[in-house]
Amino acid sequence: MCAMHETWRERLANETPGEEIPVATLPGNEKVYRRGRSLVVQLPHGGYAVLSSANFNGGVFPGLSAVVNTTGIGGEAEMDLMRAGREEHRLYAAECIRKIGLDPSRCVGLGTAVTMDKAAIVSESVGDLSVSAVVTAGVEGNGGRAGDPATFDEVGKYYTEHGTIVIILSIGADIPDHALARCIMTATEAKACALQELMASSRYSTGIATGSGTDQIAVLSDRSSKLHLENAGKHSKLGELIGRCVCQAVKDALRNWAGMTPESRRDALVRLDRYKVLPFVSEEAARLGVSRESLESEARRPEVVSAVAAALHLQDEAEWGICEPGAAKSVAFDILRNAFNEEGPDPADSIPLRAAKLLVSSAGRRRGRFL
């Protein structure tokens, strides 16, 4: 007979959060620290406004003292929470906040599977205006593109895969509620920019991810500030700082958690991954006697990466309807032929060259596309 696993309540009761670990002090004197599984942005006074997508005390929330981002409890207890629904999540969030010595009635609670030591913080200032983004990010298991097929129906139980981008945005200015909503829009665009620049894959389609299915955000405004701003769009200086902070912090957080960097994306196998074809490429390589080592080596050759990236972009544009498919296919094949053209021995005898061609040829046959 299998032993019963711990419930989240039992597991939480047995946790010892330990001491506060200072992380940073933001320009507005907000204190950032870790305790246990949580990262806390502690506010210096009670004059802050917040607008958040949090499940715990979300929306416009008065009387705020801190925003808390907590790593999931893990194991079967975590799975039970996912199946239990949002109300159970709220009870759990309140207990996690209470566990680290804070009053849940004065905190906004966010959550993720990412550990808090992997958080990234970026601050920007111009004159009297300061903006800070405190971000944790995971996208490798749950990246998605807006409009992808859904994975659950909210009428049923709440369940999702791991992978979440959590953004806490602190603005050193008095921002009215409507402009806080615009801050969220600008920050969301910046997050999508970061993912596009890393060519992060959706796990639910062949598209480029624009976020994950469980992303969360909280925007803080210091209502006691003498600086009053109402425009957070891209034309405004506030919007510019939000965009820069969030984009950089998301990229830093993805590097910290998953090692996702521009350098790590210089790999044709990585680029092809969003087309869900890597098992087929491996099968074809084995059939032709191309070693995994040769395949991986060729996939990192700069010319191959560039050619595959260009061909994939043409594939994307053909699917979006902004390139004529026949012309896109013809140009893509020209790019690939030029990249794979080598002087010297018969290319058919070049295992690395055959490996490079496999990266696109077998993938295209399996997916019914020109790539």
Q: What is the overall mean pLDDT for the chain?
A: 88
pLDDT computed for residue 365 by the predictor:
56
pLDDT value, residue 356:
62
Residue 342, pLDDT above cutoff 60: no
Rg of the Cα atoms in the chain: 24
- pLDDT tens per residue, range 27-44: 999 999 999 999 999 999
Q: Which residues contact 320 (CB under 8 A, 6 or more apart)?
A: none
| Confidence band, pLDDT 50/70/90 cuts, at residue 274 | confident
Length of the chain: 371
The gap between the terminal CA atoms of the chain, to the nearest Å, is 51
List the one residue out of 72, 70, 85 whose CA is nearest residue 8. Answer: 72
CB-CB contact of 27 with 130 (8 Å): yes
User: Tokens 């890597």 map to which residue?
Assistant: 278
The angle at the Cα of 61, spanning 43 to 126, to the nearest 5 degrees, equals 50
The answer to whether residue 112 scores a pLDDT higher than 90 is yes
Mean pLDDT, range 59-86, rounded to an integer: 88
* Of residues 210 and 319, more confidently modeled: 210
Instruction: Give, to the nearest 10 degrees, the angle between helix 292-299 and helix 351-367.
Output: 80
Question: Considering only 67-71, 253-257, 338-342, 356-360, which range has the smallest mean pLDDT?
Answer: 356-360
Flag whether pLDDT at 158 surpasses 70.
Answer: no
- 129-137 and 120-126 strand pairing: antiparallel
Q: What is the model's pLDDT at position 341?
A: 66
Helix axes 75-84, 86-99, angle to 10 degrees: 130
The predicted model gives 198-222 an average pLDDT of 94
Q: What tokens does 26 get?
A: 């933001």
pTM of the model: 0.91
CA dihedral 344, 345, 349, 350 (to 10 degrees): -20
DSSP strand E in 53-179: where?
A: 59-60, 66-71, 107-112, 120-126, 129-137, 143-144, 165-171
Condensed to tens digits (0 to 9), the pLDDT of residues 45-56 reads 999 999 999 999
pLDDT value, residue 357: 66
Share of the chain above pLDDT 70, in %: 88
Q: Are 121 and 136 in contact (CB under 8 A)?
A: no
Between 139-148, 152-161, 190-199, 290-299, the lowest mean confidence (pLDDT) is in 152-161
What pLDDT score does 78 carry? 82
The domains of the chain, with CATH numbers, are: 8-260 (3.60.70), 266-367 (no CATH)
Residue 313's pLDDT is 92
pLDDT > 90 fraction of the chain, expressed in percent and rounded: 61
